[in-house]
Structures are given as structure tokens and as C-alpha cells.
Amino acid sequence: MDIAAILKEIDAAMRLSPNRGRVADYIPELAAVDPGQFAMSIVLADGTQLSVGDAEVPFSIQSVSKVFALALALGRLGDRLWDRVGREPSGLAFNSILQLEHERGLPRNPFINAGAIVVTDAVLSTHAPREYLGELLRFIRTAAGDDDIHINQGVARSETETGNRNFALAHYMRAFGNLTNAPELTLGAYFHQCAVEMTCAQLARAGRFLMGVPDMPRLVSPERVRRINALMMTCGHYDGSGDFAYRVGLPGKSGVGGGILVIAPGRASIAVWSPGLNEQGNSKLGTEAVEMLARQTGWSVFG
């Protein structure tokens, strides 16, 4: 299978796409990103990496960071983490508070905002925010095999200023006893975590530990790899998770910066980036590109 040729074809198709979706505009740093960009990068089981497009342009990984934060938190706390967050798809938008009222402060899964805030909060029970962010960066850099990965402080600051909905979620969970630290402290760390910047090439490498392939960096146990992938499959795209599974057939996690990390277990770690979003808040071209890739490679886990 000529992955390079497939990638080129995808790149060409995406470059021609008339509709690129809408760039997130709730903070100036994201609103200013050129919507014309597109990149895809793949690391294969033998370690080969292939990239097309703007694969060396750093972008804000945003909610893709939830995957690394979850892996880190499970390493620190083990299955105790599941006392504070569920493992079910939410059936609602990424920042819904309705579900929290219904289930008394217990978020449905670690990939909706409320759940990711709890995951960060859980690690902060033993780490100061600065330590936590240091450790998370180390985790990501080790995974990517690249030390040139940083937090964009301007983005973190802007998130804090416009983060009322996340503050509402955090205060609400604290009212139910499911937030150990002050909302300001946990959200401070959370907003910085979301402000990590990576290139598409770096992100594809950082996803290698989820490929379930022996030669790749082993940051978590094989069983945990499977479980994180399962969560990405059922909950990785908010209220578009079912459709992503239906169309692509691979576990993935998207971010509002337009990035998506997708895993083809045993085969590849795939990163795709294009800033314009579809109605569910996932990268429009990114989703289409991964769908095209899955179709042409037959990498769907579903047969």
C-alpha cells in the first residue's frame, strides 16, 4: 500500500475543498489563524513518518491535550480516577452543564470539558500546578521524542479571560464535592494544558505510544493503551463521536484548534490539522481527510 501516494491525494483533495468550516473565534489567538492551512502526518508501525502540507506549523492542540492528561493521570492515580469521572459518551455538547445536574457533579467521561477538568484536578491533589504542567510537557515531549514543544502563554491567558463556562463547570462540580482544589487553581492549570502548541508532525509522533506496537515508546501499559483508545472511540469527538466512528472507524481526539489525533491500532499514529471547524466543533477538513485515509487504507478497526 502506497501511503505516500494516498497522502498526496488527500492533500490535493483538501486543498481544493471549497468549504473549510469556521475557525474558532472565542479568543483572538485562535481567530487569527489562517484557515487555508492543512497538514497530515502519519507514523507507521515500522517507525516511518510521512507528512504533507503545513506539517511543521505549530498550532494549539487544545482538547487533544486531554489524551495526554488522561494517560498521565491514570499513571498517577490508577483506576481510582474513575470514582470521579465516568466512561460513557455524553450525548450532549462538549460544555453542557445539564448532565452534571442530572448526575450530581460526576462528569460522563474524561474528554468532555467537565471530565477533563476533574482529571487535571485529580493530579493537582499531589502536584502544584507548575509541577503538573512540567510533568505533562515532559510526557508529551518524551512521547514525541522532541523537546521543542511549549505552552503558548497568550492563549492560556485568553482562555482564562473568556472561560466563564469552564468556571461554571468547575464551581458546579466543587459544589457537589467533585473538585478538590479552588476552581481558579485547577482551571489555571487546565487552560495552560490546553494551550500546548505542537506541529502536526510532532503530534503524530506523540501519539505513537497509543499504537500498541512493541517498538514504540511505551509510556503506559498495553491494557491502558487499549482503554484510552476505547474512550477516544466512544467519546473523542463530543456529540460527533458516533458519526466519527461510523465514517472513520478509528479512535481519535479532536481539539478546537483544528487538530485531531487518530490511532490505527497496530498500524499508525495519525495527526491531521486544519483550523476550520464543522458544526460539532471538530476540524472539518481534518475529519474529511481521515475519512478518506481510512477508506483508502482499510484501516478501520471494524473489519
Total residues binding a second copy (CB under 8 A): 57
Contact positions with a second copy (CB under 8 A) in 30-89: 86-89
All 3 cell numbers of residue 112? 468532555
Whole-number Å distance between alpha carbons of 114 and 227: 20
Choose, from 118, 155, 238, 248, the residue flagged as catalytic. 238
Of the two residues 69 and 228, which places its CB atom closer to a second copy in the complex? 228
Contact present, 151 and 61 (Cβ < 8 Å): no
φ and ψ at residue 154, rounded to 5 degrees: -65, -40
- The interface mask with a second copy, positions 264-293, x = CB under 8 A, is -xx---------------------------
When binding is defined by CB under 8 A, the residue of 47, 134, 145, 242 that contacts a second copy is 242
Question: Is residue 24 part of the contact set for a second copy (CB under 8 A)?
Answer: no
Minimum distance of a second copy from residue 168's CB (angstroms) = 4
* Annotated catalytic residue within 41, 51, 63, 158: 63
Residues recorded for the chain: 303
Contact residue for a second copy among 32, 98, 145, 150 (CB under 8 A): 98
| Residue 190 falls in the annotated catalytic set | yes
Exactly one of 155, 239, 278, 290 binds a second copy (CB under 8 A); that residue is 239
Q: Does residue 8 carry a catalytic annotation?
A: no
Q: Is 101 in the site for a second copy (CB under 8 A)?
A: yes
300 lines the binding site for a second copy (CB under 8 A): yes
Could you tell me if 274 and 225 are in contact, meaning their C-beta atoms sit under 8 angstroms apart?
Answer: no
| Residue 256 annotated as catalytic | yes
**Annotated catalytic residue 123:** no
> Smallest distance from the beta carbon of 147 to a second copy, in angstroms?
27
Applying CB under 8 A, the residues found at the interface with a second copy are: 86-92, 96-102, 108-109, 164-165, 167-172, 174-175, 183, 210-213, 222, 225-227, 229-231, 233-235, 239-243, 245-246, 249, 251, 263, 265-266, 300-303
List residues with catalytic annotation: 63, 66, 190, 238, 256
